[in-house]
Amino acid sequence: MSAPPAQPPEEDSSGAAGKAADSQLLIEQFLPTYDVGVVHADVFRAAPAQCYLVASELDLFQTPLIRTLIGIRGLPQRVARTIRGSGPPTTVEASRRTFRFRDMVDLGWISLGETPGVELVLGQVGRPWKGVAVSTHVPTTPEQFRSFDEPGFAKIATSLRVDPYGNGSSILTMETRVAITDDTSRRRFRRYWLVIGPFSLLIRRMALRLLATEFRRSTPGGPDGRGVG
């Protein structure tokens, strides 16, 4: 039987009103209330343990277009650096050889928590609408991230979660939540997201397709790696 289509992105821009219903989500422990939430999910014909391992180690830079899109997402930082003359118009992400979910801890993100084989949550505090994306007062622990409330910043939590589905299949969910610490920054982020958001959403959709390709190479039984057992 074919898998359900990939779940469309869900966005909540209701001004700090977003609230997840499932308190068992690990991401809920770190950012339960948020301004913008984006969720992508799909079903894959792979056992949860395999799905989690492959998804967390998936190198998105296998696809040149994804590398380009990640570079476009960092456009505000590149423009600002060019104007200031403070360095070459590039981003750390675009200069890397690989881009895996776990690689993000080398790019200004911190590991907030992990339920092995189930969910991994990363966090970052920054100003993505400005030339310098990361705060100069970067939280370095999950506790600091949870309590951070300095005005002028965005708190971003992103998670990768795998749940069992049917016989030998899994649901993979990628979720990102953004909480803004003051009204002025909230308006700035919304303008930023209006431009950059579509590229970010496209990267996620392409990541799901790339993951399906990985399973198609290693797992028989499905035309595109998706499906239920």
Mean pLDDT value of segment 11-28: 57
Phi, then psi, of 133 in degrees rounded to 5 = -75, -30
Q: What is the pLDDT of residues 182-207, one digit of tens each?
A: 999 999 999 999 988 888 888 899 99
Cα dihedral across residues 71, 73, 75, 78: positive or negative: negative
Taking residue 137's Cβ as centre, other Cβ atoms within 10 Å add up to: 11
Q: What is the pLDDT of residues 93-145, one digit of tens each?
A: 545 677 888 888 888 899 999 999 999 999 999 998 885 555 556 789 999 99
Residue at token pair 């100069």? 136
User: What CA–CA distance (Å, rounded) separates 117 from 113?
Assistant: 12
User: What CA–CA distance (Å, rounded) separates 60 from 108?
Assistant: 18
Mean pLDDT value of segment 77-83: 47
Task: Flag whether pLDDT at 20 surpasses 80.
Answer: no
pTM, rounded to two decimals: 0.76
Check: CB of residue 45 under 8 Å from CB of residue 219. yes
Residue 122: predicted pLDDT = 96
Domains of the chain: 18-57+98-192 (3.30.310)
Collapsed DSSP state (helix, strand, coil) of residue 39: strand
User: What CA–CA distance (Å, rounded) separates 216 from 222?
Assistant: 7
What pLDDT band is residue 30 in, cutting at 50, 70 and 90? very high
